[in-house]
Every structure is written in structure tokens, then in C-alpha cells.
Structure 1
Amino acid sequence: MTLPDAPWRSWPGMDQLLKALDAEGGNVRFVGGAVRDTLLGLEVQDIDCATVFRPEDAMERLEAAGIKTVPTGLKHGTVTAIIERRPIEVTTLRRDVSTDGRHAEVAYSENWQEDAARRDFTINALSADPITGEIFDYFNGRADLDARLVRFIGDPAERIAEDHLRILRFFRFHARFGSGAPDAEGLAAAAKFANSLMALSRERIADELLKTLALPDPSETIALMIEHRIFTPVLPEIVSAEELIRLTGRETVFDQAGDPIRRLAALLPPEPDTAVSVATRLKMSRAQRKRLATATARIPGDTAEPRALAYRHGIDGAIDRLLLCPTNDAVTGDAIALLIENPPPERFPLKGGELIAMGMEAGPDVAVKLREIENIWIAEDFPGEARVWEIAQEMLSSE
């Protein structure tokens, strides 16, 4: 069994990197996702290598070959080589000394199988000789890849005890690579130890959840997670995948790219306060928090005024709300089409200084009056600037 040829194997600078790490002597291999995805015929962007050389030695060899290196994870044996502006992670072979479910203490090794045994799933433990393409498969990962089965290496409970995040990774990898029912032993262990997720940082949980929700259609896997109470310890607000299933269907019908924040909103009740609470707990960015709150504020009337919705919340926010809106698909489709074909203006064409020039006394009332005029302009579906001035003059003359 050999690794198929792929464009990434011939990237400029790859030969120099492999020579520097003595590929001819069998001292470096391609590992992990690059091998897995190449076997599946998928595009590869991220390349990981493993080597017998200690990180300091690897850096010295690479720099001697004129390759820039960055000590991105020396504590864990990882350096990053930069070839033609592309980062290649190079990690020294390791074995676990101790783990606590969040962090691992490692020791360097020269045993390839020992290093592969540290990985989570059999399909991620494949490695390949960069010269001959020979694939090394210590845990039947190729058979699992062919069967579209995501399976822990060894005892699932032990793998989860080493890193609790593997519970969420199990479901993400099943959603991406699996077919049919998930591995029964892995599913049982994930459900049994779901409470261990409480020990993880909320940032790690958020990152893994959003990666899962960004997959083409994670709805069945998310439903499975809900059924087995995976979210209950850390995100008890997620109790049904029904709206997510409906949303992913609509995204396909209306040719809208799946968005993880929008999909998270579908999993939450339509309550902005709840959304803010969840986003804060997950330590999401301010922009993500705002978008999630906007999406969960959806109401049936959103489809009646799509341009006004987009003016107030942006195109992305409006499309989120329309796709999540509890109206029939025909009405939703018309609203989205209108918004795409005829988006609203980006800004209000009247400023406070112009109201003062028209005779209004400067002060806080200017902002209030400006907002009133703007609301009329929105309600009239954004007429031209002449009408805006007319509205302003009518309001000022009536006082």
C-alpha cells in the first residue's frame, strides 16, 4: 500500500525539507490528516511530519538547509518549517508519560508505533514514507477509512481519559468521515464520560463545536449527540436538532453556505438573552456574540421586511434571520431573493449637522430627531435623498 501522488507532495521547498530531515534514512514521515485525506482523494492544505530528531536538532538541520523555522511548540516537541510561505509542522516522536484529560506530559521516543499510539483515532494514526510512499498502518486505520468508520485506538475510555476533548472530536470526525452508525464502543464511552467535558476550557469546547457545525451537514450527528446527552453537562440549552435539520435543508435549497454561528442559533431557543449567555460562557468573540444574539431574535415578521432587516443587522444577519424564520419556504425564498437582488443602502443619507443647518437647535434632541426621520425612511423602503430632506422639513416645520 502506497500513498497516491498529490500536488502537496511536490510543493516548492518540500524536497529540501525532506532532505534536511534525512528522509532517505527513514528519519521523517508524513503523518495524520495529510495521509488520511490523500487516501480519500481530498484536497490537503495542512501538512504534518514526524521525525526521530529532537526539536532543537530538527531546527538546526532545517535552518542549515536555508529553511525558516519557528519554535511554535518546543515544549511538546513541535517546530514549524516555512517553505514558500507554507507552514509545515515537524514534531519529534513522542510517548505519553502522564495525562490528566486536558494536558499531557510527554517524553521523546524513537519508536514510530509508540508515537502513532498517542493519536486518537485509527484513521489519524496512518503515516507514510515521503520517498517511497509506503504507508504504515499499525491499527487498521486503512480498513476503517474504507469502511468510513471512526474508531478509537485501543480502549475508548482510556483515550478519552487522556484528553476529554476526544469526545467532541469523535462526533466531529464521524460527521466528516463516517457513514452509517458510529462505532458502538466509541459512542458508549463518549456518552458515559460526557461529564468530563466540564473539565475543559470553554474555548476548546467552542472551537470543536463550531468546527463540527461548519461541516457540510452535521445535523444527524448533532441529533445523535443530543440523544446521548453529550451537550447536557456544558450546553444544557441544546435539547433538539429539529431546527438545525430544517435550517441545513434550507441552506441547500436557497444556495446559502452553511454558517456555524447561524447553525448554533438554530440549536438554541429564540431568546437573545440565552444566546448572549451561551456565547459568553463559550468565550466567543464580540462579533460572534452579536451575530448569535441577532439570529436568535428571529420573529415571523422578518420575511415581511427583509431590506429593513438587512439595513439594521447587515446582510449576513438578515439572511440568518430569514433562514431561521418560522415561515414557509416560498415566503422565505422570495425574501432572500429580494435581499440579494436589491440590498438596502449602507448608510442613512442625512447627518445631524444638516438638521442644525435647517434650523434645529444643537443638542441631544438632534440625534433623537435623526433617528425618527431614519425610521420613516426605512418604513418607506429607503426612498431617495430628496424624500429624506422632505421628511426632515415636514417634521421640523410641524414642531
Structure 2
Amino acid sequence: MLKIIFYLKADKVKANGDVPIYAKVSIDNQSITLSTGKGIPAERWQLTNRLRNPLKQEKEKVLKKSLDLFEMNINKKYNELLEINQAVDIAVLKDQITGVEKQQKMILDIFDRHNNDFERMVNHKERAAASLQKYRRSAELMKNFIKKQYRKDNFPVDDINGAFIYNLESFLKYESEFNGVVGIKNNSVVKYFKNYKTMCNYAIKFNLIEKNPFNKYSGKIKVIEATFLTKEELTIIESKEFNNARLDKVKNIFLFSCYTGYAPIDASNLTSANLIQDNNGMYWIKTDRAKTGIKANVPVLPPTQKILDKYKDLQVGLIPKLSNQKMNAYLKEIADLCGINKKLTWYVARHTFATTVTLGNGMKIENVSAMMGHTNIKQTQHYAKVLDSSVMDDMMKLMEKFK
């Protein structure tokens, strides 16, 4: 809640006897002090009850109007920030009031400010930690590029032009290094530029910049067919018995994702509170996707129920937790033992749910899109395109009509 209190700075009396008037601005437990640029003799401040009493002197009437306008401007800036974010940071409000933000036009400063604000939302469970990691990685790549290309620690936003965009794309694709790997593939580069656009759009909202320099970028995602398991491959993994407890656990976690479509962070956060029984006695897993915040309700299929029963009351969540890195290493071992010539990952399981488990069994694409937590149906249509079986089913129906 915003609170504004005007007071005199008693230790700064001017030669004419006026004492500077300051404002203490508070939001919850945060506060700042701001100079109003105005002053008044201390005795008049007290006699008029801080200018609250009816005023007779024209000078004091004008002063009162100035302070009212000062307070009104603070309230206006606060409400503008409140529309953008439920939690208003006092430092951001101060920048808005004093106009400092108009001077902050260095690209890395903008990225830092965006990421600090995003981190606060992550801490309040409003955004996914994985998204914050991607934004930070994007900023780090930009920092490395500026240092290498321009030998500077930062770069003015207004100076970002077509040449800067071209050189940045080239740097990301062919020169950037991460974990010993040189260069980034096209689709990842496009996603990094999308992050740059998002962070600059954030800056536009706060009047830090007037236009987004990354709108000049025109790179496109190259559609790559999603890797998924066929019905036969899924059956092979399900029927494979492992004497090794570690591999058996990984197998069941993987199959859980195949039959629910939950991504790693969503699956690991599921608890008994997410398990709901409807009026027909059918169980559902209900939750919001961490990445998009969209509701994604998935029915508990028999293979899913079997896994839930196996691990019931053995841990806090519905299923055991394992890091992505360990999961992917163990899945490679499972693929080898099952004779499957595909690189198994969490996302292969998610793709399998979209294709083999749902669309491949005739489920409507709109319902699959809802269960996947997609923001629009175009994301789901990508899976439908790779299913030759669904095309064949439609063609068979068409053949019957012609007969």
C-alpha cells in the first residue's frame, strides 16, 4: 500500500529562512525520501498544520497546490506500475518519479532490470525458474558478444542497428561457447532473439526506451519433426523388466510422462493435492503448467494409475524425483537395453503423449492442446502433421464415402 508523508529537512535551512520540504514515500516495508524542490519557514509549517489548515497567504496556497501535484504524480506513477506488476518495487517507482529511467538506455542494464524483476516473480511462484535461467543465459551471451565485438562492457540501445543484429546472430551461431560446445543451432538462436525482444518490450512498458531494436531480426524457427515412440516401442519399454532398481524407477517416471504429457518441472511438482476424482469416479491430475501458467487437466489412464499405485506414500510427490541430467543418462541405457534406436529424453515422452497416446488414438486436437497446456492450437498441430496413421485413417474414411 502506497503512503506519502511530507516533512521538513530541519538540518538544511536556507538563507531566507525556508526549510526544504521532503516526501517520505512508503510501499509496505520499503521507503524512499524525495526532495519536492519547495521550502517554507518552520514556524509557518507548524502554524498551518503542514498546510492542512485553511490558508490565507497566496504564497502558501501556491505551495499547497505544488505539493498536491507532486503527490498526485507519485500516485499516478504507482498505479501505472501496478497495472504491469502486482508487486511494485520502490526503487523502480523512484526511477519513474525522478525520470532516471530515461537515462538508462544501456542494453545490459535493461536486461539486468528485467531479470531482477522476473526473479522476484519466480520467488512468488508466478513464473518458472527455468525461464529465468534462459533469460540470464541470454544476457550472458549478449555480454560476451559486446565484449568480443566492440571491446566494451555495455552498449547503448539506440546504437543497435542492422549490423549489430547480423553480427550478434553470427556470433551466436558460430563463435559462442558453452560447456565446451562452440556455436548454437538455428532454432535456439531464434529463441534467444525472442528473449531479447521480450526484455526490450519490458523496457518499453517502463518508458526506458521508445522502440524495440530487436524487431529488426527476421530469423525463423526451422520445423523439426518431434521424436516420439511408436506404439510398438512404447510396449517394448513397458514390458521390459529391470533387475536394477535405478533403471526400473527411471523407466516408470518416463512412462508416467508418456501417459500424462507432463514436462519435467510439472511432473516433479505433482502431489496428492493434484489428484482429483470427478463425479463419475474417474481420477484426473489437475495443475497449472509452470512455463505458461495454463491449466492442464489430464485423465489418469490405467498405465498411469499403475505407476501411481507403485510409488504411493513412498515420497512427497506422486512420483520420485530425478534431475534431467541423470534421467537422460539413464534413459540412454534403457534405450540400448530395449533395442530402441532413438535418443530418449523427457521431451520424447511428452511428444509420445501428444502423438501415439492421444492423437494416434483419435482424440480431438483441441482436447490434446488443452491437456498439453499449449497457449494456442498451432503448437499441437505440429504433432498432428507427423502422424501418418491419422492421415491414413482420414483417407480410409474418405475412401468409404466414395465407395
TM range (shorter): under 0.3
**TM-score (normalised: structure 1):** 0.23
Larger radius of gyration: 2
**TM-score (normalised: structure 2):** 0.23
Query: Higher relative contact order by CA 8 Å / sep ≥ 6: 1 or 2?
Result: 2
